[in-house]
Each structure stands twice: as structure tokens, then as C-alpha cells.
């Protein structure tokens, strides 16, 4: 009896000690930002979100070995550790939830439903709250870590993407992917206190010089001294005809974190602060900057270029300009990185080859060169995508012009994703020889009949012609002749990727009821859409366009069949039409007033609207941009009916 008594006491003590240990909270003392790769406090373990493989890899940095691959929900995009390293939170973008991993057990032990398409995630200083940016809902969810429940929702501007928190934990930064805005949330009240708008870089006479509108803003990385933050993004020049060397430029904006203002003169631009020369003394072109890492003493910053697959080194002790470029990080599509605790290594996550590259940083010696190790470490046991789809996806995100049979987009200037951001839109309208053209989404692109706003292509590989004729690339190929087989294969791969059902799921609409059903107002709109408003005449069928009917006698899609192109009164004064093109044997001329019917599935997510991006909202499409009443029977509708119709169109998925 006595013996048992003693053991009970021992057990109780053990339990108490254990219990206390759990409650004793570890406070983080450094700034943090969400990322697709993160490390634990002592730097011995790395956690990597394997974007399309639906797993999280755990890498032991001492053994240089993957020690676990943990299955999670679909499309894990970013992850964050609790300050005590015990819990890992992973956003599962296509499952609208955050998976919670117990790092000791290396298993998902729970998940929390959040908004639509969660992306960024950070944990607060003491680990009690987790913030999640919901890309499609335009909200930030606040999760109570203990209860594992959403306890608050903060409304923010469109497309919240990356998150970052100051060392003090008092401020949360939310980047907005396409607008170039950054919301500043006061974490005491969980309210937006300010919105910083990155400034456009002004037009220059020399169109080959960096200029344009800030776009694709994802990471917000606070410097170790907590005074500034670096924000990598693109600048898109919309007022000159699309050309490789004149449309999209890489940039890094610098934010004063004490005043929450952009320091405009500190922006890093190509040919200026980003001017690393090659052996011919020409500026080396880089594309798609995605992530930033600082040495802890603030002497250097490293910036990853996911498109051209490079790492740029900035010397912050000598003026803050780029001083070195590691041309080509081994592997494909370097998207995120962490620095080892001794600052000697950068671990770089390649999102397409699903492996880890390592760059020796050279530490804080200003003359030391950073150097990539030639071999990478594979992070996954098995790729989730068929090889041709993986190849196409890799090409889509690549701006590395040395890697494939043909340099799709010129001298490292851009990737498909520079305009079709993450396979979607960039919200901008670019000048083309036919007139202004709104960048279309790749969602359903292969299932909506003819291609291009004017329906002038019936075969995806003809897209080459746009690249060639209208963007200034690939001049080596005669458009009248078939492509060399190796180049043809690249387009087959791109096509396989665009067609693959998991590539671009149709975004869910935040206009619907939480259970996914239509609201009463949208139901009323649906009746009108299918009834007296007459929309169904053109926007019909599975993908809500009649363009799929533009076929020949054998049922094959053809640009010759122009019966399903329409003049809905939307011509822009700058539209020119086309005489057709060589690849189609000039059988596809288009007058400037007629357009291909676009799909309305998830149209809520692709503002602005119409071929020239001239309508900001669906309401504008039906009213201000429908003065002649050629676009549906909107004149037959009362104001309330128009609003109901708009509600329905915004709810289509």
C-alpha cells in the first residue's frame, strides 16, 4: 500500500511538472512572416509545405535528411510554428482549412475551417492566437490556439495574401496580392489601422527602363532591427504594347515599419539598385522576386527570383544595392527560403522540382561570395502530378530562358505567371496590337471554346503566335511552319498543365450563403438571368459560354465559325481588329466590334471586366458599359432587378 502511495505521489508530481511545462509559454522576440518554409528555434528542423503534393516535409539539418513527410489537406501553401515549436499550422488553400500538426508526433491532430482559399499564416508572440489570410473571402481569421476555433474575423481589402508580425507582436501586416496595398492591423483591437499603397514607378521615356504598377505582392519581410520591411513584387507597365523588355519588371519596395509608410527612394529596381553585370558588362535580367532573407546583423539581404531562378545579394553596409547574383539556384522555381542559425546557409525551397537547394552565404564578410551547392535534396517520395503536367507547370512558372528547348519569354524577363499570376489574373489590362486586352484567368481556359477575347485562335499552341508576334519573343520560328518537335512538346506540356483538373479549381464565391447555396436575392437574379434579361442566350452550358459551339462539320473547334462571336456594344476607341494571322493561314480575321463570349463561372473573382478591362464591376458591365442596350435585355429590368442579377452573377461558381 505504502509503496503504491509513494508511486502515486511521484506520478502526480510528474504530471504536475509536465502540465506546468505545457502552460509555461515561450515568447517569440523576433519579427516573423508566413512562408512556405520555416525552421524551429534551434534551427535543427525545417518544415516545408509541398504545394501541390499535399504533404509537409520535415528536414533534419544536421543529418541533411528528410525525416518525415506528413500528409495534409489540398494545396498547402504556407506554414507557421508556435513559438514553443510544438505546433505547426498549415494553410490548405483548396480545402479552406488550416491543418494543425503536432511536431512531436509528426501528425495532423486537428483542423480548423477558415475562409475561402487560406494563404498566409502567422502565430502571435505567445502562441495563443493564429492569424490566417483568406485570399478569396477578403478576411483574416483569428484562431484561438487552445480552443482550435475561429474566434474573430477581420474584414480586409481584396486578395489578402502574405502575413507578417512585428517583434513586439503589436502589428500584423497583410499584403494584398494584386492591388499592391498592405493593411496594417493593430493586434490589440484586431482592426485595420492603416492601408499602405505601394506607389507606381513613374513612366520613363526609355520604355526599356523599369516602370509600372506594383503587382503580385506576397511576402512582407521585416528586417532584424524592426525598422524597415522589404516587399518583393512586380511592376507592370500597362501603357505601351506588350513586349518582353518593356512590360514586366522585378522590384523590391521598402517600408518604414515605424511610420508605416513606403520609403519610395529606397525601392530596388532593375538597372538601378538591381544592376549586376555579366561578362559583357550588361545588366543581368532577373524575374519574379518572391522572398527575402536578412543576415541577423542587418549587413546583407538576399532576394530570391522564382522566375529566372536566381539569388540576388544586397550589401546593406555599402549603399544597399545588389552586389552579387547567384545565377541559377539548382532546381525549379525557388519560392521560399530560411537562413540557418549560424547564418552560413540559406535553405531554398524549390516549389516545382520539390527539392531543397543550399546556398553558402559567405556570412557578413562584404567580399565573400554566396555560392550554391550543386546538388539538391529531394523533399518528397512521389510527385502527385503526371510528368507532362509537372513539366508544363514548371514551364508556366519559369522565366529561366536557358532551361528549355525554346526561351518562351525572352531573356529571363518573365514567366507566364508574371501576367497570369499564380495561374489566375493580374487584374491589369495590357496594350496589344489589337487594342487594350484585360489579362484573362487560366481557370477553365481550355474548356471555354475559342481562345482570346476576339476568339481568333482555336488551338492552344497558336498561343505561340501571340508570344512571337505580339510580345517580342521567339522570332526564330516561322509562324507559317510547324514548330520543331522539342518546342511543340513544351506547348503540349503547358496544355496538359492547363487542362489538368486540379491545376485551377474554379474559385468558390464569397457571395453565397455559408453552406454554399444561393442567397434569396441571387435566386431571384437567376430567374432573371435565365428569363427576361436574356443572358442565357449566350452565357449557357456547362462553362456558361456559347463559344464551345464554334465547331466545324466534324465537331472540331474552328475560328472559321464566327456565328458565336457577338457585338455587345463594348468596342473601345483603341480597338483595331485583325486581318488574321499566318499560323491560321489568315482565315481568322476579326472586326473590332465582335467578341467571344467569356465564361461567367467565378467571374466575381476576375474584375475588371470586358476585353478592355473597362468595367470595374459586374454592375458596370450591365449599365455604364451597356449604353446601347446591346448586352442582354437590361433595359427591361428595374434597378432592384439589376442588383439581383448582379448578385446572381457574382455567385456563379
Q: 30 to 69, contacts with ligand HEC by CB under 6 A? A: none
Q: Which of 48, 53, 474, 621 binds ligand HEC (CB under 6 A)?
A: 621
Supply the minimum distance, in Å, between the C-beta of residue 528 and ligand HEC.
8
Q: Which of 597, 602, 650, 651 binds ligand HEC (CB under 6 A)?
A: 597
Q: Which of 142, 154, 483, 649 binds ligand HEC (CB under 6 A)?
A: 649
Is there binding between residue 595 and ligand HEC (CB under 6 A)? yes
Supply the minimum distance, in Å, between the C-beta of residue 399 and ligand HEC.
9
Nearer to ligand HEC, 276 or 619 (CB): 619
Cβ–Cβ under 8 Å, residues 182 and 190: no
Cβ–Cβ under 8 Å, residues 377 and 270: no
Q: Which of 598, 601, 647, 651 binds ligand HEC (CB under 6 A)?
A: 598
Count Cα neighbours of 476 within 13 Å in the Cβ-side half-sphere.
Answer: 10
Lookup result for grid cell 520543331: 484
Supply the minimum distance, in Å, between the C-beta of residue 349 and ligand HEC.
23
- Between helix 387-397 and helix 485-499 the angle, nearest 10°, is 100
Residues forming a β-bridge with 429:
438
Q: Which of 77, 233, 335, 420 binds ligand HEC (CB under 6 A)?
A: 420
For residue 499, count CB atoms less than 10 angstroms from its CB and return exposed for 0-12, middle for 13-18, buried for 19 or more.
middle
Nearer to ligand HEC, 298 or 577 (CB): 577
Q: What b-and-e string marks burial along 302-324, b requiring 16 or more CB atoms within 10 Å of the CB?
A: bbbbbbbbbbbbbbbeeeeebbb
Is there binding between residue 445 and ligand HEC (CB under 6 A)? yes
Supply the minimum distance, in Å, between the C-beta of residue 107 and ligand HEC.
38
Mark the segment that binds ligand HEC (CB under 6 A) among 3-11, 28-36, 176-184, 430-438.
430-438
Cβ–Cβ under 8 Å, residues 135 and 158: no
Q: Which of 311, 618, 644, 652 binds ligand HEC (CB under 6 A)?
A: 618
Encoded one letter per residue, x for contact with ligand HEC by CB under 6 A and - for no contact, window 529-568 reads ----xxx-xxx--------------------------x-x
Run of H or E including 437:
strand 435-438
Please work out the total of residues on this chain that contact ligand HEC, with binding judged by CB under 6 A: 50
CA dihedral 254, 337, 44, 342 (to 10 degrees): -50
Nearer to ligand HEC, 110 or 531 (CB): 531
Nearer to ligand HEC, 73 or 214 (CB): 214
Nearer to ligand HEC, 272 or 619 (CB): 619
E strand intervals along 156-206: 160-165, 171-176, 181-186, 191-197
Copy the grid coordinates of residue 116.
Answer: 475561402
Cβ–Cβ under 8 Å, residues 203 and 211: yes
The distance from CA 87 to its chain's CA centroid, rounded to whole angstroms, is 26
Cβ–Cβ under 8 Å, residues 305 and 344: no
Of residues 590, 236, 136, 207, the one with CA closest to residue 439 = 236
Cβ–Cβ under 8 Å, residues 470 and 463: no
Distance of CA 545 to CAs 328, 542, 634, Å? 43, 8, 19
Q: 272 to 331, contacts with ligand HEC by CB under 6 A? A: none
Nearer to ligand HEC, 269 or 459 (CB): 459
Sorted by sequence, the CB contacts under 8 Å of residue 15 that are 6+ apart come out as none
Length of the chain: 653
Supply the minimum distance, in Å, between the C-beta of residue 110 and ligand HEC.
39
Closest CB to ligand HEC belongs to which residue? 632
Nearer to ligand HEC, 171 or 434 (CB): 434
Lookup result for grid cell 538576399: 302
Mark the segment that binds ligand HEC (CB under 6 A) among 11-19, 335-343, 406-414, 582-590.
406-414
Supply the minimum distance, in Å, between the C-beta of residue 329 and ligand HEC.
21
Supply the minimum distance, in Å, between the C-beta of residue 45 and ligand HEC.
37
Mark the segment that binds ligand HEC (CB under 6 A) among 91-99, 196-204, 288-296, 605-613.
605-613
Q: Which of 34, 61, 418, 588 binds ligand HEC (CB under 6 A)?
A: 418
How many helical (H) and strand (E) elements, i.e. helices and strands, does the chain have? Answer: 8, 36
User: What does the DSSP 8-state code read for residue 357?
Assistant: E
Copy the grid coordinates of residue 185.
Answer: 492591423
Nearer to ligand HEC, 120 or 507 (CB): 507
Is there binding between residue 652 and ligand HEC (CB under 6 A)? no
Supply the minimum distance, in Å, between the C-beta of residue 543 and ligand HEC.
10
Is there binding between residue 453 and ligand HEC (CB under 6 A)? yes
Supply the minimum distance, in Å, between the C-beta of residue 449 and ligand HEC.
9
Supply the minimum distance, in Å, between the C-beta of residue 433 and ligand HEC.
9
CA distance 213 to 234: 8
Q: Which of 119, 302, 314, 609 binds ligand HEC (CB under 6 A)?
A: 609
Mark the segment that binds ligand HEC (CB under 6 A) among 4-12, 55-63, 289-297, 407-415.
407-415
Supply the minimum distance, in Å, between the C-beta of residue 450 and ligand HEC.
7
Is there binding between residue 636 and ligand HEC (CB under 6 A)? no
Nearer to ligand HEC, 262 or 470 (CB): 470
Q: 217 to 276, contacts with ligand HEC by CB under 6 A? A: 242, 247
Nearer to ligand HEC, 258 or 624 (CB): 624
Is there binding between residue 416 and ligand HEC (CB under 6 A)? yes
Q: What b-and-e string marks burial along 345-384, b requiring 16 or more CB atoms within 10 Å of the CB?
A: bbbbbbbbbbbbbbbbbbebeeeeebebeeebbebbeebb
Of residues 651, 607, 648, 642, the one with CA closest to residue 622 = 642
Cβ–Cβ under 8 Å, residues 36 and 351: yes
CA distance 573 to 44: 61
Nearer to ligand HEC, 19 or 433 (CB): 433
Cβ–Cβ under 8 Å, residues 160 and 134: yes
Nearer to ligand HEC, 35 or 570 (CB): 570
Mark the segment that binds ligand HEC (CB under 6 A) among 13-21, 252-260, 287-295, 432-440.
432-440
Sorted by sequence, the CB contacts under 8 Å of residue 491 that are 6+ apart come out as 460, 461, 463, 464, 483
Instruction: List residues near ligand HEC by CB under 6 A.
Output: 242, 247, 396, 408-409, 414, 416, 418-420, 430, 432, 434, 437, 439-440, 442, 445, 448, 451-453, 463, 494, 533-535, 537-539, 566, 568, 570, 595, 597-598, 600, 603, 606, 609-611, 618, 621-622, 631-632, 634, 645, 649
Amino acid at each position: 500500500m505504502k509503496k503504491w502511495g509513494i508511486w502515486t505521489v511521484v506520478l502526480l508530481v510528474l504530471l504536475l511538472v509536465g502540465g506546468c511545462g505545457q502552460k509555461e509559454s515561450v515568447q517569440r522576440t523576433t519579427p516573423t512572416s508566413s512562408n512556405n518554409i520555416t525552421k524551429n528555434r534551434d534551427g535543427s528542423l525545417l518544415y516545408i509545405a509541398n504545394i501541390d503534393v499535399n504533404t509537409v516535409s520535415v528536414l533534419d539539418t544536421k543529418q541533411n535528411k528528410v525525416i518525415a513527410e506528413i500528409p495534409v489537406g489540398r494545396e498547402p501553401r504556407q506554414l507557421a510554428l508556435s513559438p514553443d515549436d510544438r505546433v505547426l499550422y498549415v494553410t490548405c488553400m483548396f480545402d479552406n482549412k488550416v491543418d494543425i500538426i503536432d511536431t512531436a508526433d509528426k501528425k495532423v491532430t486537428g483542423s480548423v475551417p477558415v475562409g475561402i482559399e487560406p494563404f498566409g499564416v502567422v502565430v502571435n508572440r505567445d502562441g495563443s492566437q493564429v492569424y490566417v489570410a483568406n485570399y478569396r473571402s477578403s478576411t483574416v481569421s483569428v484562431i484561438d490556439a487552445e480552443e482550435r476555433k475561429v474566434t474573430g474575423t477581420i474584414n480586409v481589402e481584396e486578395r489578402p495574401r502574405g502575413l507578417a508580425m512585428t517583434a513586439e507582436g503589436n502589428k500584423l501586416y497583410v499584403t494584398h496580392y494584386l492591388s499592391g496595398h498592405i493593411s496594417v492591423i493593430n493586434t490589440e483591437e484586431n482592426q485595420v489601422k492603416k492601408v499602405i499603397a505601394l506607389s507606381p514607378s513613374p513612366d520613363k521615356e526609355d520604355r526599356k527602363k523599369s516602370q509600372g504598377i506594383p503587382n503580385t505582392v506576397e511576402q512582407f519581410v521585416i528586417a532584424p532591427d524592426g525598422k524597415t520591411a522589404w516587399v518583393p513584387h512586380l511592376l507592370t507597365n500597362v501603357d505601351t504594347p506588350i513586349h518582353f523588355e518593356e512590360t514586366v519588371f522585378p522590384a523590391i519596395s521598402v517600408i518604414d515599419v515605424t511610420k508605416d509608410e513606403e520609403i519610395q527612394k529606397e525601392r530596388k529596381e532593375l538597372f538601378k539598385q538591381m544592376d549586376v553585370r555579366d561578362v559583357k558588362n550588361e545588366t543581368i535580367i532577373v524575374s519574379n522576386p518572391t522572398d527575402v532573407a536578412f543576415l541577423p546583423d542587418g549587413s546583407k539581404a538576399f532576394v530570391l527570383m522564382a522566375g529566372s531562378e536566381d539569388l540576388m545579394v544586397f550589401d546593406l553596409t555599402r549603399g544597399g544595392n545588389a552586389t552579387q547574383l547567384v545565377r541559377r539556384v539548382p532546381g525549379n522555381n525557388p519560392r521560399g527560403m530560411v537562413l540557418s542559425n549560424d547564418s552560413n546557409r540559406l535553405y531554398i525551397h524549390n516549389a516545382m522540382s520539390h527539392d531543397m537547394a543550399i546556398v553558402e552565404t559567405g556570412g557578413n564578410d562584404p567580399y565573400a561570395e554566396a555560392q550554391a551547392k550543386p546538388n539538391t535534396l529531394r523533399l518528397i517520395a512521389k510527385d502527385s502530378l503526371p510528368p507532362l503536367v509537372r513539366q508544363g507547370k514548371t514551364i508556366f512558372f519559369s522565366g529561366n530562358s536557358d532551361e528549355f528547348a525554346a526561351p518562351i519569354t525572352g531573356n529571363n524577363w518573365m514567366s507566364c505567371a508574371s501576367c497570369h499570376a499564380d495561374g489566375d489574373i493580374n487584374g491589369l489590362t495590357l496594350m496589344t496590337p489589337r487594342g487594350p486586352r484585360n489579362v484573362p484567368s487560366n481557370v477553365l481556359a481550355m474548356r471555354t471554346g475559342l481562345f482570346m477575347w476576339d476568339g481568333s485562335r482555336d488551338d492552344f499552341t497558336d498561343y505561340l503566335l501571340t508570344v512571337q508576334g505580339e510580345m517580342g519573343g521567339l522570332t526564330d520560328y516561322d509562324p507559317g511552319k510547324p514548330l520543331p518537335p522539342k518546342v511543340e512538346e513544351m506547348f503540349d506540356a503547358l496544355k496538359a498543365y492547363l487542362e489538368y483538373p486540379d491545376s485551377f479549381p474554379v474559385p468558390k464565391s464569397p457571395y453565397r450563403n455559408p453552406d454554399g447555396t444561393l442567397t434569396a436575392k441571387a435566386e431571384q437574379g437567376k430567374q432573371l438571368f435565365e428569363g427576361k434579361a436574356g443572358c442565357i442566350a449566350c452565357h449557357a452550358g456547362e462553362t456558361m459560354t456559347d463559344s464551345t459551339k464554334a465547331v466545324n462539320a466534324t465537331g472540331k473547334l474552328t475560328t472559321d465559325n464566327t456565328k458565336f462571336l457577338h457585338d455587345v456594344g463594348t468596342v473601345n476607341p483603341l480597338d483595331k481588329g485583325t486581318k488574321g494571322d499566318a499560323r491560321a493561314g489568315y482565315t481568322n480575321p476579326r472586326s473590332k466590334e465582335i467578341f467571344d463570349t467569356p465564361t461567367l463561372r467565378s467571374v466575381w473573382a476576375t474584375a475588371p471586366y470586358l476585353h478592355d478591362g473597362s468595367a470595374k464591376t459586374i454592375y458596370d458591365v450591365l449599365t455604364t458599359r451597356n449604353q446601347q442596350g446591346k448586352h442582354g435585355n437590361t433595359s427591361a429590368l428595374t434597378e432592384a432587378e439589376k442588383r439581383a442579377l448582379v448578385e446572381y452573377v457574382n455567385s456563379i461558381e
